[in-house]
A and B are shown apart, each in its own frame.
Chain A
Amino acid sequence: MYNVVQLFAKYGAHIMFVVLEIICFYLIINYNLVQKEIFLNSSNVYAAKIAQQQSKISQFSNLRNQNDSLMHENATLIENLITIEYSSDNIPEADSFYNQYSLIPASICNSTIHLRNNHFTLCKGSREGIKKDMGVISSYQGIIGIVRNVSENFSHVMSLLNSQTKISCSIKSRKGHGSLVWKTMDPLRMTLESIPKHEKIAVGDTVITSGYSTMFPRGILVGKIEKYVSIPGSNNYDITVKLFNDLTNIKYAYVIQNRLDTEQAKLEKEVVDE
């Protein structure tokens, strides 16, 4: 009690000042229309700002779910694009064909870029339906590689940037097809081989997957022709392709599931065996 009295004796004037000002402002805000409006308005503004920050934080903590749903949405969109690519064919296809390819979204856990033989690891495995020799893309504009090995929860993908990569590709609206290999150590450029010299090509042509393998459907964009040389004494061009997607900073991928691959492979094997 003595302390309280002492406190008032020492700081009484200051406490009184604060109390009187509070009374004044109470009166101002409650009995003056203009000031009341400004007070209410600005307090609403601050409350709205706080609510905005709070929603920002909750959105951030929700990012993983949103990302997953976006991945699924993307997967269906890319499936539709592949379907459109086939439906614009001159040869009409059977209805069943349209659902031949489906996509499995997955995130990338681990990757190497600067080695001679590079690999990716996906965070999904056989439990989600991933099998050996499936193709992996990052979007409609980019191949990533081919599944080489699958465990229950992970799958090991041979990157495009691997000396063993060989993917059948063709050039959009031109004839002929060749195979895409990685000879340089440049993660943005690859080489397209075995396009015969009698085909006409030009710098800037778009390179797409040919669809001759069971891994990739036709029409997935790979890159653009940056330059080409015709090697003397050879039948083929040596074409440098600049990739559309940058493999050095990929976080998500889609695994292409081909429903008819076993059937196709079995048929082709029978022919070889005969």
Chain B
Amino acid sequence: MNSAIQTNIIRIIFVFLAQVLIFKQITFSLGGLAYIHFLIYPIAILLMPVKTSRPVLLVLAFIFGIALDMFYDSPGIHAAALVFTAYIRNIIIIFLEPFDGYNIDDVPTLKRMGTGWFVSYISVALLIHTFVYFSIEAFSFVFFFEIFLNTIFSFIVTFIFVLVLQFIFRTKY
């Protein structure tokens, strides 16, 4: 269990640094209509052990989001989206529960849970997170078209990148 906590702490720090140092700089314009953002940071929360209790997730998501917002100069936006994602994470996990249930030390990674389970879990969670993030950023559903485009394209690139990362870093926890 100790190594699980260590792995998670290291992962959170690495994801944070990668997001603010590398992925923050990369944005593709899509004909002036929408922008592609790499929003890989939710995996810091999404890859934590299955049995992690909700309050822990929420507090971590809040701190992580606020720290991210300091670099993004947008107080509260990432934090709000990430807290929401942390809140619904357990609901998605319950929906995707296998027939024989989860083990006490299960982690929602590609290696442990299998490709089908991981793809459906990470795609639903990331899609919801991206949509919530762009909705809060626009702050009004007047911009529904922009929110929709941003969500779709950012989701696709982020999703592919997360899969690639999972194939590269085959961590035990």
Contacts and interface: CB of A to CB of B under 8 A. Distances in A.
Interface of A: 12-13, 16-17, 20-21, 23-28, 30-32, 34-35, 38-39, 42
A145 B87 CA distance: 77
Closest A-B pairs by Cβ, 3 of them: A27-B76, A13-B54, A24-B80
A13 B136 CA distance: 22
B77 A20 contact: no
Contacts of A21: 80, 83-84
B77 A12 contact: no
Nearest to B88: A17
A16 B58 contact: yes
B74 interface: yes
A20 B76 contact: no
Contacts of A27: 66, 69, 75-76, 79
Contacts of A12: 55
Interface residues of B, number: 23
Contact of B65 (A24, A31, A34): A24
Interface of B: 53-55, 58-59, 61-62, 65-66, 69, 74-77, 79-80, 83-84, 87, 136-137, 139-140
B76 A38 contact: no
A159 to B, nearest CB: 58
Nearest to B143: A38
A46 to B, nearest CB: 13
A31 B140 contact: no
A75 to B, nearest CB: 51
A1 to B, nearest CB: 20
Nearest to B62: A20
B76 A32 contact: yes
Contacts of A39: 139
Contacts of B59: 16, 20
A146 to B, nearest CB: 63
A11 to B, nearest CB: 10
B139 A13 contact: no
Given A24-B83, A38-B140, A42-B140, A17 B76 contact: no
Nearest to A27: B76
Nearest to B57: A13
A17 to B, nearest CB: 5
Contacts of B66: 27
Contact of B139 (A23, A26, A31, A34): A34
19 contacts: A16-B55, A16-B58, A17-B84, A20-B58, A20-B59, A20-B62, A23-B79, A24-B62, A25-B80, A27-B66, A28-B75, A28-B77, A28-B139, A31-B75, A32-B75, A35-B77, A35-B137, A38-B139, A39-B139
Contacts of B53: 13
A35 B69 CA distance: 15
Kindly name the residue among A16, A17, A42 whose own CB sees the greatest number of chain B CB atoms within 10 A.
Answer: A17
Given A20-B83, A24-B80, A32-B74, 8 more contacts: A13-B53, A16-B58, A17-B58, A17-B83, A17-B87, A27-B76, A28-B139, A30-B75
Contacts of B54: 13, 16-17
A38 B141 CA distance: 11
Given A13-B58, A16-B58, A38-B140, A28 B87 contact: no
A147 B83 CA distance: 79
Kindly name the residue among A21, A34, A42 whose own CB sees the greatest number of chain B CB atoms within 10 A.
Answer: A21
Nearest to B76: A27
B160 to A, nearest CB: 28
Given A17-B83, A38-B139, A26 B76 contact: yes
